[in-house]
Each structure stands twice: as C-alpha cells, then as structure tokens.
A and B are shown apart, each in its own frame.
Chain A
Amino acid sequence: MQSTTPAAQPGLSRRSFLFGAAALGAGLSMAGCAPGQGSGGKTTTITFYVSKPEVIGYFDGLIKQFHASQDTVRVIRDSTSSMSADFVRNQPPDLGCWNYNFSVAAFVRHGALSDLSDMAEAKSINPKLWPLLQQTATYPGRTSAIPYSVMAASVIYNKDMFARYGLAVPTTWSQLQAVCRTLQGAGISPFYNTLKDNWTVAQGMFDYSVGGMVDIPRFFSALDAEGTSVRAGSAASFHKDFQGPMQHMSQLALLANQDAASRGYGDGNLAFAQGKAAMYLQGPWALNEIAKTAPTMNLGTFPLPVTEDPADLKVRVNVDLALWIPEASKKKAAARQFLSFLMQPEVNDKYNADNNGFGVRTDSPPARNPALAGMQKYYDGAAFYLGASQLIPASIPVADYAQAIALGSAPGPELATLDSDWSRLALRNA
C-alpha cells in the first residue's frame, strides 16, 4: 500500500496531461474541420492556386471583390500545397495561376489540364502569344492554359548615368562596345554581374546573347528532330549554333565589376541601386528590389544588341502567369466563372500595371512603369523570344555551364557537354 500511493500521484498527473493533450488535439481538429464543412447549400467552394508569393495579398483582395459580386461561388486561395501531391491524390486545385514553364509542362503534356479553347477569354488573347505557350508545352487539340501576364526582360540601364556621359541607347554590337569604352574611361563598370547565383547568368547574359543571334523556335525544333544524334557535327547543335553568342558573352563578362564572381542577386540589386554600374542584365522582377533601396531611380530598358543589324533586336519574354483548370476538377463551371472574373480587362490590366507585366490581349494598354517603355515597341511587334535556358529541360544544368563560361571557361567544351547531355536525355525519353 505504502509503495503504491506515492507512485500513483505522478502517474495521475501524467495521465491527466496526456488526456489534456489529446482533448486539446481533438478540439483543434474539430475546429479546423468546421469551416470546410460549412459550405453547404447552393454555394460551390473552389480552390485557387497562386504560385507567386509576392502577389498573394493582391489576389486576396480580388477574391473579396469576387465574393461581394456574387454569392454562388466561394474561393479558397492556396499557395503552399505541393502541386504534385495534389495531382497524385487526385485533388488538384480547381483553378491554377502559375508560371508557364517546366513545372507545368509535365501536366500539360500528359493531358491533365482541361481544354479552354471554347471560352471567350481564350479568343481575346493576343494571337502572337500562343506560339510561346506551344513552345513550352502542348497537348494535341487543346488550349490548356490562358496567359495572364507576360514579363519582358532586357538590359536595365541607369538613364541619368547615360545622360551624364552623353550616351545614346546602343542598337548594334559595336555601339554597345563604344558605350562600354566610354563608361570604362570614366571609371564606371558598364555592367553589374552577379555570377555567384548561376540563374542570373542563365536568364541574363546567356539568354540575351543567344536570343539576339539565334532563331530560338527554329533551333529547338531542329534540335528535337535531331534527337539522340545531337553532337558537335550534327545539323543543329549547341556547339555549332551557340558558338557565336557565347563568344559575345565571354566578352560581355569582361566588361563587368571586378568582384562579379562573388556577388549574388541581392548584392546586385543593392549595388545597382547605389549607382555602382550603368547596366544590369535582369528582368522587371529586379525593378521592385532596386526600388527598395532607391525608389525614385531613373531607369530604362533596351534589348541587348549582339549583331550589327538593329532589325535583329529582340526582348526575352516568359509567360509569367497563366490560368488553367485541371481535367480532374469537379467544379469546372465555378472555376470558369472565377477565371472570367480574373480575365476582365480592368482586373487583368490592373494586375499587369501593378506588377510590371505586359498585357495579354491585343487591346491591352502599354506597360505603365516608365522603365519598361523601352521594350514596348519590341513587345508589340512580337520581336521576342523565350529564354533558351528555359527551354532546356531542368535535368540539364545549363545555368552551371553558362556560369562556367562567364567565369572564363572556353565555350567549346562546355557546349559539347551540353550537346551530349541533350542527346543522352533524348535517348532516355525515347
């Protein structure tokens, strides 16, 4: 008796603790389930996936507006679930708003996304944009996604600095070199490079040099036709077609800040905002980051000239956001209703104006940010290309090869490696 009584007391308190924890857990799980079950009656609840974290607040505001405008569809915004897991358990979001790149390409190719070609919104899209979507991924006979926002990228330059040295925007390779010589003579590094982050090299110097000289769609379809036999001597190969652009890139790399090898993306935004270089090879996403340090900086953009012909000038674009509805969604009608709401010209145009995007309809207004004005002409004239680094499958580390070339490696061997990677991947997929 004596030995059991003292032992019982700590046992009791531990037991009550465990019961308490279990009760707390049960209570919480009930509370968690409550809002999900509350959507009875005639309302349909759909899940809307936004992949861009920086615009979550913006879309939350839109969802509120949408809820106020009607009461049959309720939208839950999701930005954290794993998309692959959602598809695996056959519960994908009812409406997706994603980058149209490799992450979505697999879903498109396997026909996981429903056809939207009968929607009026699909017909209003600028027809020049469809080839961009088809190049990334396509499913026969379907319009799998509707573009929402396109981002155009080129050289960002410091307008005040150009004005101070009486420089005009260069339109040919030799003009660009003359501009760089003037800047170097004044002790200013022409470009600010951030080689530490390899993706900045791939989307900047690499894509701009290649896109300015190579016909991207034709090159990649030739490469696809070549398939497993891509090598240094074949009709189309990285070794043959990228040799010229890479020579230019190697020269560009020499015109940058001395410490480029150890600088990352964040350092680049800060340094450029502090006026440490005249030009910066980044897309419009960097404009917001530069504005954190220098909100009133006078910036402009121009396509990187890599040939002697001003007619070759083009800007790099990517379909930043596209809307799509999965085949597995059971609430396609409600999802289409919200899609139409998002695609209304005033809603869509406001998004693009606020987020440095270019419009997707033929009647979209020009980009609002004055820094993007330099690219409008090229965008309207469809003088654009998808970045080559975005069209090479992610399993080939093209950003690393680009980084190596920017750091001084000879382009030839790197491009030969790229060729053998391509043919090996083609063999594996065959």
Chain B
Amino acid sequence: MSTQVMPAPATHTAPATAGSRPRRRPSRAQRGSWALTIILALCSLTVLVPLYASCVMAFKTTRQAVDGNAFSLPFPLSLDGFVQAWTLTDFPRSFAISVFIAAVTVAGTIALSSFAAFAISHNWENRVFRWSFFYLLAAMFLPFPVVALSQVKLTGMVHLDNPVGVAILHIMFQLSFSVMLFTAFLRSIPTELEESARIDGASTWQVFWRLVFPLLAPMSATVGIFAFLASWNDYMMPTLITADPALQTLPVLQNIFQTQFSNNYNVSFASYLMAMAPAIIVYLISQRWVMSGLTQGAIK
C-alpha cells in the first residue's frame, strides 16, 4: 500500500516545478543553458584532453614518446608499449588480484555498512548505538599513513599480509563514510513501511533483507562506486601490506615504469589505459543508479 502511495506525489510535484519556470522566462533560461553548456564543455575538456594525450601516447614508439609533443598523432603506430606493459606487470595475474580485492571490498563494504547503518538508525535512542555511530565517524579523521606502521606489523603477525588483508583493511577504511551515507538514507525511509512488514510477521532479518536492503539499492550503488574507486586506485596500502611480490596489485606494479632517471611514457600510458578500462566500464554501467539514487534522496 504505502509503497504505491509514496512515489505518486513525488512524480507529480517534480515536473510541475521544473516545467513552470522555462515557460515564464524562456529567453533567460535559454541563455542560462547556453552558458551552462559552455562551462560544462570546458570542464569536460579537462578530462578529455589528458585522456586524448594518454591514448595517443600509448600507441607511440619510445622515440616519439620523448620528443616533447604530447598531442601529436602516433606515427608509426606501435603496439610495443602494450606488449611491454603486459609482460612487465604480468597483466592477467595482477589484474585478477586487483579485481579480487576490489570485488571483496565492494561486497564487504556494502554488506557491513548497511548492517551497521540499519542497526544504528533503528536504535538511535540507545546510547550504545548512538556512540558507536560517532565512533565509526571518528575513523574518517584517521588516515591510513598514521596507522600504517602498526597495521603492517599486525597484518604480518596474523598472516594477513596478502590481498585478503588488503581487502579487509579497505573495507575498514570505507566503513565510516559508507555508514554515514546509509544512515542518512535510512532515516528518510518511513517507519510505517517496516511496521506493516512486521504486522505481516516478518522477522528483523526479513525486514532488512526483503524490504530495507532493496530500498537501499541506489545508495548501495553510490557506496559501491566509492568503495570500488578507493580500492582499485589505492597504491599505499597494497604496497605496504602485501608481502609476496607475486600477489601485488596493478597500481603498485605500474610504479616501475617511471623513475627519476628514465621515462617510458609509451609503456606507462599503455599500462594506465589497460588499468583504467574497468573503472570506466563500472562507472558507465552503474552511473544510472547513482543518478537515480541522488534524485530519489532529493525528493524524499
């Protein structure tokens, strides 16, 4: 019942407010949209220009890569950079390990932080839960480098100096921010929804899993994207925590392409392109949910 009622007024009000404005003042709105388009176009250049440079650089020969013209088209076209990057990083293996860490981080972050947020938002009056929320938030002010040394020692002692340990630590460091997002979102879900499920005889687990968790989907997508990016792009934690060089992640291995004394622009950019691909693909697939999540939150 209530699920059908809730979105109805929302969908009615949204187009009404948005639609009335351009009809009254079309010229100014149009001018505004032109200015906005130009600003957005300029902003997109800041992404597209470096992307273009890295694409053409990846296909250059070493000699052309150091000639100081980053924007020139590659001639002759060379796949040498990709071949070298592939073998030097042992790409399939390091890629699989990066994917593994990112997947565990995303799944673990979404699961753990939604559990925590559910418990905290339902027991807000209880002092223990309220303070545990503040405790989790306080972790946001604790960057990894501060605790790096003790983490290295601890993970070594409990034999977690491997990708599993890195994934667990990634989950830990994502927890505070994700719990905050989930808790804020959960508070906007009306309690009547849950009460109706309770009346139908649902247990706490069923309420969470059948009702609340599906409602959290857009926020889960947001949390998941943040967790994925943080884990996929991380350099410092895997480099310190992982002991076995054969289990190292892609960003750490890519560090070997550039040193103070030598530059292999074509090899490094080829490798960056290969590493960038999954992040872009994940974002392209899931961005619809992020957008819908933002608008849903805004209306409620």
Interface residues of chain A, those whose CB is within 8 Å of chain B, are 3-4, 7-8, 10-11, 14, 18, 21-22, 24-25, 28-29, 32-33, 35-36, 47, 52-54, 56-57, 76-82, 85-86, 88-91, 199, 265-267, 269-270, 285-286, 288-289, 292-293
Chain A contacts of B148 at CB under 8 A? 85
Instruction: Please tell me if the beta carbons of B214 and A24 are within 8 angstroms of each other in the complex.
Output: no
| B287 interface hit (Cβ, 8 Å) | no
Q: Which stretch in B24-32, B132-140, B184-192, B247-255 binds the other chain?
A: B247-255
**CA–CA, A32 and B107, complex, Å:** 20
Instruction: Please tell me if the beta carbons of A53 and B259 are within 8 angstroms of each other in the complex.
Output: yes
| B279 interface hit (Cβ, 8 Å) | no
Q: Would you mind naming 29 contact pairs between A and B with Cβ atoms under 8 Å apart?
A: A4-B210, A7-B214, A21-B104, A22-B104, A25-B100, A29-B162, A29-B163, A32-B247, A47-B245, A53-B256, A54-B261, A54-B262, A56-B256, A78-B245, A81-B243, A81-B248, A85-B152, A85-B240, A89-B152, A89-B153, A89-B155, A89-B161, A199-B260, A266-B66, A267-B68, A270-B67, A289-B261, A289-B263, A293-B63
What 0/1 readout, one digit per residue, does chain B (163-179) give for beta carbons within 8 Å of chain A? 11001000000000000
**CA–CA, A199 and B261, complex, Å:** 10
What 0/1 readout, one digit per residue, does chain B (134-159) give for beta carbons within 8 Å of chain A? 00000000000000110011011100
Smallest CB–CB gap between B179 and chain A, Å? 19
Instruction: Please tell me if the beta carbons of B256 and A289 are within 8 angstroms of each other in the complex.
Output: no
**CA–CA, A120 and B234, complex, Å:** 44
Instruction: Please tell me if the beta carbons of A24 and B103 are within 8 angstroms of each other in the complex.
Output: yes
Instruction: Please tell me if the beta carbons of B153 and A88 are within 8 angstroms of each other in the complex.
Output: yes
Within 8 A of A (CB), among B46-72: 62-63, 66-68
| B229 interface hit (Cβ, 8 Å) | no
Chain B contacts of A78 at CB under 8 A? 245
Residue of chain B at shortest CB distance from A81: B245
Q: Which of A29, A35, A53, A288 contacts B257, CB < 8 Å? A: A53
Smallest CB–CB gap between A107 and chain B, Å? 16
| B200 interface hit (Cβ, 8 Å) | yes
Instruction: Please tell me if the beta carbons of B256 and A76 are within 8 angstroms of each other in the complex.
Output: no
Within 8 A of A (CB), among B246-300: 246-248, 252-253, 255-257, 259-263
Residue of chain A at shortest CB distance from B96: A28
Smallest CB–CB gap between B294 and chain A, Å? 21
Extra pairs beyond A11-B210, A21-B104, A81-B248 (18, CB < 8 Å): A8-B210, A11-B209, A11-B213, A28-B96, A32-B162, A32-B163, A32-B247, A33-B162, A54-B262, A80-B252, A86-B243, A89-B157, A91-B161, A265-B260, A266-B263, A285-B261, A292-B62, A293-B67
With A36-B246, A81-B239 in contact, do A18 and B111 touch (Cβ < 8 Å)?
Answer: yes
Instruction: Please tell me if the beta carbons of A10 and B66 are within 8 angstroms of each other in the complex.
Output: no
With A288-B262, A292-B62 in contact, do A80 and B100 touch (Cβ < 8 Å)?
Answer: no
| B125 interface hit (Cβ, 8 Å) | no
**CA–CA, A32 and B104, complex, Å:** 15
**CA–CA, A293 and B163, complex, Å:** 41
**CA–CA, A3 and B4, complex, Å:** 12
Closest 7 pairs (CB-CB, A-B): A89-B156, A78-B245, A53-B256, A285-B261, A85-B240, A28-B100, A85-B152
Chain B contacts of A82 at CB under 8 A? 239-240
Chain B contacts of A293 at CB under 8 A? 63, 66-67
**CA–CA, A47 and B247, complex, Å:** 14
Smallest CB–CB gap between A112 and chain B, Å? 16
The dominant DSSP class at the B interface is helix
**CA–CA, A80 and B104, complex, Å:** 23
Chain A contacts of B246 at CB under 8 A? 32, 35-36, 76
**CA–CA, A82 and B156, complex, Å:** 13
**CA–CA, A78 and B248, complex, Å:** 10
**CA–CA, A404 and B167, complex, Å:** 45
**CA–CA, A270 and B69, complex, Å:** 11
Instruction: Please tell me if the beta carbons of B260 and A28 are within 8 angstroms of each other in the complex.
Output: no
| B45 interface hit (Cβ, 8 Å) | no
Smallest CB–CB gap between A84 and chain B, Å? 8
**CA–CA, A24 and B152, complex, Å:** 26
**CA–CA, A21 and B259, complex, Å:** 36
With A36-B244, A80-B253 in contact, do A10 and B214 touch (Cβ < 8 Å)?
Answer: yes
**CA–CA, A265 and B242, complex, Å:** 33
With A21-B104, A24-B103, A25-B100 in contact, do A91 and B243 touch (Cβ < 8 Å)?
Answer: yes
**CA–CA, A21 and B167, complex, Å:** 13
Chain A contacts of B209 at CB under 8 A? 11
Smallest CB–CB gap between A277 and chain B, Å? 15
| B119 interface hit (Cβ, 8 Å) | no
Within 8 A of A (CB), among B116-135: none
Smallest CB–CB gap between B217 and chain A, Å? 8
**CA–CA, A7 and B253, complex, Å:** 44
Instruction: Please tell me if the beta carbons of B259 and A54 are within 8 angstroms of each other in the complex.
Output: yes
What 0/1 readout, one digit per residue, does chain B (97-117) give for beta carbons within 8 Å of chain A? 100100110110001000000
**CA–CA, A21 and B110, complex, Å:** 13
Residue of chain B at shortest CB distance from A49: B245
**CA–CA, A57 and B83, complex, Å:** 14
Chain B contacts of A81 at CB under 8 A? 239, 242-243, 245, 248
Chain A contacts of B162 at CB under 8 A? 29, 32-33
**CA–CA, A418 and B211, complex, Å:** 67
**CA–CA, A35 and B240, complex, Å:** 21
Instruction: Please tell me if the beta carbons of A79 and B214 are within 8 angstroms of each other in the complex.
Output: no
Chain A contacts of B257 at CB under 8 A? 53
Smallest CB–CB gap between B91 and chain A, Å? 14
**CA–CA, A24 and B241, complex, Å:** 22
Residue of chain B at shortest CB distance from A273: B66
Instruction: Please tell me if the beta carbons of A292 and B63 are within 8 angstroms of each other in the complex.
Output: yes
Instruction: Please tell me if the beta carbons of B156 and A269 are within 8 angstroms of each other in the complex.
Output: no
Residue of chain B at shortest CB distance from A25: B104
**CA–CA, A91 and B242, complex, Å:** 11
Residue of chain B at shortest CB distance from A3: B200
With A29-B100, A79-B256, A289-B262 in contact, do A90 and B156 touch (Cβ < 8 Å)?
Answer: yes
| B35 interface hit (Cβ, 8 Å) | no
| B88 interface hit (Cβ, 8 Å) | yes
With A36-B244, A292-B62 in contact, do A21 and B103 touch (Cβ < 8 Å)?
Answer: yes
Instruction: Please tell me if the beta carbons of B261 and A24 are within 8 angstroms of each other in the complex.
Output: no
Smallest CB–CB gap between A197 and chain B, Å? 8
**CA–CA, A32 and B245, complex, Å:** 11
Q: Which of B62, B68, B100, B263 contacts A24, CB < 8 Å? A: B100
Instruction: Please tell me if the beta carbons of B68 and A89 are within 8 angstroms of each other in the complex.
Output: no
